[in-house]
Structures are given as structure tokens and as C-alpha cells.
Chain A
Amino acid sequence: MTAKSWLTPTIIAVVALVLPFLLRDPYPQHILIMILIWATLGTAWNLLGGYAGQVSFGHAAFFGLGAYSAGLLFLHLKISTWWGMLLGPFVATAVAVPIGLICFRLRGPYFALATLALGEIFRLVFTNWVKFTHGAQGILILSTFPTKLPYYYIALAIWGLAMFTLNRLINSKLGYYFVSIREDQDAAESLGIPTTRYKMYAFLPSAFLAGLTGAFYMNYIAFIDPHVVFSLGDISVMVILVVMMGGVANPWGAPVGAAIYIALNEIFRAWLGSANVLAFGILVCLVILFLPNGVMGELGQIRRTAFRQKPAAAGGGQK
């Protein structure tokens, strides 16, 4: 790695570490935490959907499993929900294993459909298995910390872990294999790439990180119910929109998309009430029309247009 490639992450890390001291009110700190949650979930999705091209319509399943791992530990064993952050990611990963083993062998939209069904199945099971989950009533805990600050730093650490994992993976042989599989599975196989296995290598860390995010969410929000954490629209689909907004297969796509989503969410909610989701959807459509690679993916394009430069020789736009 060159000195320059360390510069941006270092600056961002320093800014992220001091930011809550500049924004001392709980409200902006809450906004920052929500951005970090979505940035982490989006990064998990991007690794699998953006790089390896395996589009999941059910990341709420893994997020929700992480959240409920924490919640149920408390409910049944009276163990601190923080242990859920240890258990949740492994539960999510364990559920991902059979799904991947079955779907990644098949051609066509099976994986997308299976993940879509998975999220909905968990939502229904957790709603109706009242004895075990408290059903739609949800699980309520007492917050551990009176201030936002500890939550902020935990969320930051989780996001950092996600960014580190993503960057380590995509800047290695695995990253090349992921993108090859996305671009042409037949070509990839004929180049000696065991495509089923490498899809798993993208899927399992993705599910793990989604589970971790969910477990943190339980601890932070202190309340979950199946319709929130297993939501198709508000989580599974929204995470795709967030990444598309920021930039699919771009390491900064999820964090930038998350920042835009959460910021707009707050602005629109004041104006539009519940129509804010619709407004965000329309904005994503506009982004797809005019910036098909998302804000980060088109950043080079935007800069060139702004400075009226000729485009450089076409180059590896994706990496």
C-alpha cells in the first residue's frame, strides 16, 4: 500500500473519532449512529451483491437474527444483550450456510428469491411463535448507557471492522474472483474458479456483519419487534437502495449512501411525514438515471465534468 492510500482512511478515522465532541447534542449523535448502522449493513450487502454479484433481497433475515439473538438471550437467560454481539453474527452465518450451499449451485434468480423468502419466513415465524419471541409485542430492554457516546464508538468500531473486512477481501485474490463471478460465471469457471465456494466466501462474511449490525441495533434502540428488524421494505430493500445511491461495488458506496439516506430521512420526515420513504425511492431512481454507478461510482465523472477535463483512458472503474 502506498502512503496515499492510507491518507483518506486516516483522515476519516480521525474525523470520526472527534466528531461527537463537536456535535455534543444527543440528536446529531443519534443521526451519526444511525448512519454507521446503515453504513455497516450496506457494506455487508455490497460485498455480496456489489462485488460478487449475488443480489440478496433478504438481508433483513441476517440483521433480524442478530437482533433477536441479543434480545432472546436477555429474554430467556437474563444474559446481557451485549453477548448477542458475539452470538448474533454466528447465528446469522449459520443460517447463511445452507442457503448458500443450495442456491449457489443453481443458475438464475434462485438466490435472490430464496433470500427474499428467508426474510419473510423469519418475520412470520418470529411474529407467530409468541411463546419464544413475544411475537409482535417485541422485546424491550433497558439501555445500558445513559448517553449516546459509548454507542457511537461501538458503532464506529463495527463499521471500521466492516470496512477493514471489505477492503482486505476486495484487494486480494478473492476480490478478483468475486468480480469475475459477477461479470461472467461461465468464464470464471473455465478459468478454474470454484464459483460456488467463492460465492460462499462473499456470503458468509456478509451475513456475519449483518448479524453483528442487528445485535448492535438491539442494544442501541433497546426495542425490537419482527416487523421492524425483519422488514422487507425498510431493511432488505432499503439497504439495496442505500448502496445503489452511494455506489454499488464501491468501498465508499455504502457509507456515502447511508449518510445521504439518514440525512434525507430526517429532513423529509419533518416535511413529508411517512412519505419520506417514497421521496428517497424517487431520489434513488434519479440517481440511477443520471449517475448509474451511484454517487461514489460517478465521482470521477462528476469531477471531470466540473473541471471540464477530457475523460482519461477508460480504466478499471469498479476498483
Chain B
Amino acid sequence: MSFFEVKNIVKNFGGLTAVNNVSFTVEKGEIFGLIGPNGSGKTTIFNLINRFYPLTSGEIYFQGQRIDGLPTHKICELGIGRTFQVVKPLRRMTVLENVMAGAFLHTGSIARARAKALEVLDFCALAHRKDVEAKSLTIADRKRLEIARALATEPKLLLLDETAAGLNPKEQEEAIAIIQKIRDAGITIIIVEHVMKVIMGISNRILAINFGREIARGTPREIANHPEVIKAYLGDAYA
């Protein structure tokens, strides 16, 4: 039994099939990349995993337990954290309070939640912003806050949705470093990313999708040279 498994998942939005019969497994400790052009269904797959949307059909398993059908907060409680592509900071709370909101999952004590949050902020190199209201953060810091807040819930599996999008090259390097640090801490990661440098550099395996369907899977090198992937990203003329 795999650490995490998605089996034949389908999601219809009215007439549109956003995710069409996708299956994959993720093993403990790896970084699993999920790529595809705009609108190909990557974020929707995350939204199905943490049950923002119910599946149209299919099954999802985490550590041997079937989790589709469980409410969103329960899925987090089981150990699946996520970030949002369109960041969702708790705007009128400070950075520290944002991260504490995550840390309260495992404690009822303010002191302990605070200590945990400070530790995570340190880990994400965000401690110097801890007393700033989340609404006044730069986009790079907001992306980082997304990660810190999810980490505070002590996930075993972390879903990262475009955490390097909109960052400058230096910030991207920092984002990569943080993601690698998270992996080194023993947390399994599924990462969605448009920035190829990021995803090719750190993923163990990659699944490429287009129009909600799998088009290729393999190592970063195999994916980079796969004709279907090149076609999906660059158009038919390049295939």
C-alpha cells in the first residue's frame, strides 16, 4: 500500500471535466511534481484531495485509509497540509497569529502554539515579519506564510500550489531551499509549479497533465524530453 494514492479521480464542473480519470501514487519522503499548462486541472486535483470539492468519482487513500468523503478539516487533522495558489492570508491577523492558527491543531495552549509558530517562522525565514499584519506582506512573504501556516499543522504530506509563482529569481532560490528543507525534515511533498527550474530541480517523479488527463509520467529528465509534454507547453509545431 502506497503512502498516498489517487485512484481514477474525476471531477465535472457542469459540462466541463476538469479532472478526467487521473491516478497516481506518492511514496513516503519523495517530492512528487504535478505539471500542466494553465487550466489543466492541477489546482482542482488539490481541491479534490483536501475536499474543497467532492469527487465526481474515484478514490483517494492516505496511509491506507480512504479519505475522500472526509471533511476538509479532518483531512488536515490526518496530516495533509496545503497552500493556496491564490494566497489566503488571515488578513487582519499578524504573521505570528496566522501561523499560531495552524499550530493550535495539536495544542490548546497559547504558549505552546506560540512556541511552535515561532519555530516554524524561523524555519521559513519569516521570523522578522512576525508582528506584521498579514495583509501588508509582499507577495513573496505571503507565499512563504502559506507554507509556514501549513507546516504549523505538522503535516506528513504537504501540497504546494505554485509557491514560486510571481517571485524573482533570488526569491525562487530561497523558495527551493525551503522546500528542500521541508523534504529533509521528512515531510512528503506534492508540488504544482509553473517555474520549470523549480520543479525539474527538486522533484523525484513528475506527472504531467493536460485538459485534466495524464499525458506523461516519469523522472524530470524523461518529462522534459517527452513529446506530449513539449506539445502541451509549446504547441503542435514543436512536437
Contact = CB atoms under 8 A, between A and B. Distances in A.
B132 A173 contact: no
A192 B91 CA distance: 18
Contacts of A180: 90, 93, 101
Contacts, number: 98
Interface in B55-106: 71-74, 76-77, 81-82, 84, 88-94, 97, 100-102, 104-105
B31 interface: no
Given A173-B113, A314-B133, A184 B90 contact: yes
Interface in A148-205: 171-173, 176-177, 179-180, 183-184, 186-195
Contacts of B84: 186-187, 190
B73 A176 contact: no
Nearest to A189: B72
Contacts of B72: 189-190
Q: How large is the interface on B (under 10, 10 to 19, 20 to 34, 35 or more residues)?
A: 35 or more
Nearest to A185: B88
Given A190-B82, A315-B94, A316-B94, A177 B101 contact: yes
Contacts of B108: 172-173
Interface in A113-136: none
Contacts of B153: 191-192
A99 to B, nearest CB: 21
A187 B90 contact: yes
Contacts of A314: 131-133, 136
Kindly state the interface size class of chain A when it binds its partner.
Answer: 20 to 34
A147 interface: no
A190 B52 CA distance: 9
B133 to A, nearest CB: 5
A77 interface: no
Given A187-B88, A191-B153, A319 B97 contact: yes
A173 B114 CA distance: 11
Interface in B131-169: 131-133, 136, 149-150, 152-153
Contact of B133 (A176, A189, A192, A317): A317
Contacts of B113: 173, 176
A313 interface: yes
Contacts of A172: 108, 110
Interface in A301-318: 313-318
B52 A176 contact: no
Contacts of A193: 73, 101, 104-105
24 contacts: A173-B107, A173-B108, A173-B113, A177-B101, A184-B89, A184-B91, A186-B52, A186-B84, A187-B84, A187-B89, A190-B73, A190-B82, A191-B73, A191-B76, A191-B101, A191-B150, A194-B73, A194-B74, A313-B131, A315-B133, A316-B93, A316-B94, A317-B92, A318-B92
Interface of A: 171-173, 176-177, 179-180, 183-184, 186-195, 313-319
